[in-house]
Structure formats: C-alpha cells, structure tokens
C-alpha cells in the first residue's frame, strides 16, 4: 500500500537533488495502487521542503484520482516559507507557469512534466 509516510521516509533518506524524481515515482505508484492510504497524516520531518513535498504530492494525487484532498495537507507546517525551485534560475519562469496548483500552494515550483515518471 502506498502511503504519504512512505514518501516522507524516502525523501528524508535522500538528498535534495533526488526529491523530484522520488516524488514522480511515488505519484506513479499512487496512480496504480488500488487502495493508497493518503488520509493518514505522516509525521513531520522537520525539513520544511520535505513536509511540503509530501503534502503537495498527496493533495495532487488525490485531486488527479478524483478523491477528496486530505484535511492534513494545507496545514501551515506543511508549506515552505519561501519558494523552493530545484532547477536552474533560467527555467524558473517556466516553472511559475507550469507548476500544478497543489505544489505552488505549498511553495514548491516543479513543472508538471517533471512529476511524470518514465
């Protein structure tokens, strides 16, 4: 079963350079999991970007599956204080336009195409 906690655990064990790839892989697993558990809130990791990524990915996964967005995802502790963008500065304007709403709400700029697992 795919859970928000499993994403939090994977991100916490990884470097920031792997975050987007891990989120894309997790979103793919959620899309193919018949019964993902996204309503159970994961523990906070104390790494603001990780907590925001988990909340944004969970909200995005529910939205794309037509499920209610979990009530824990908009909590202030699950948002960044400043915008986080993992790419080169020259591509940031593209990210501003093409970031899914659930990610931008949490202060994360990640192009939708980057969230697709190949």
Global pTM reads 0.95
pLDDT in tens, 45-83: 999 999 999 999 999 999 999 999 999 999 999 999 999
Domain assignments of the chain as residue spans, ordered by start: 4-115
Using one digit for the tens of pLDDT, what is the confidence trace for 76-102?
A: 999 999 999 999 999 999 999 999 999
Structure tokens at 68: 């209610």
């Amino acid at each position: 079963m795919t859970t928000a906690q499993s994403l939090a655990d994977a991100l916490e064990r990884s470097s920031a350079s792997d975050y987007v790839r891990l989120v894309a892989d997790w979103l793919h697993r959620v899309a193919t999991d018949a019964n993902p558990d996204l309503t159970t809130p994961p523990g906070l990791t104390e790494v603001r970007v990780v907590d925001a990524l988990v909340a944004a990915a969970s909200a995005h996964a529910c939205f794309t599956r037509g499920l209610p967005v979990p009530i824990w995802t908009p909590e202030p502790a699950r948002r960044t204080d400043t915008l986080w963008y993992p790419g080169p500065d020259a591509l940031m304007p593209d990210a501003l336009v093409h970031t899914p709403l659930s990610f931008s709400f949490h202060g994360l700029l990640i192009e939708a195409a980057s969230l697709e697992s190949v």
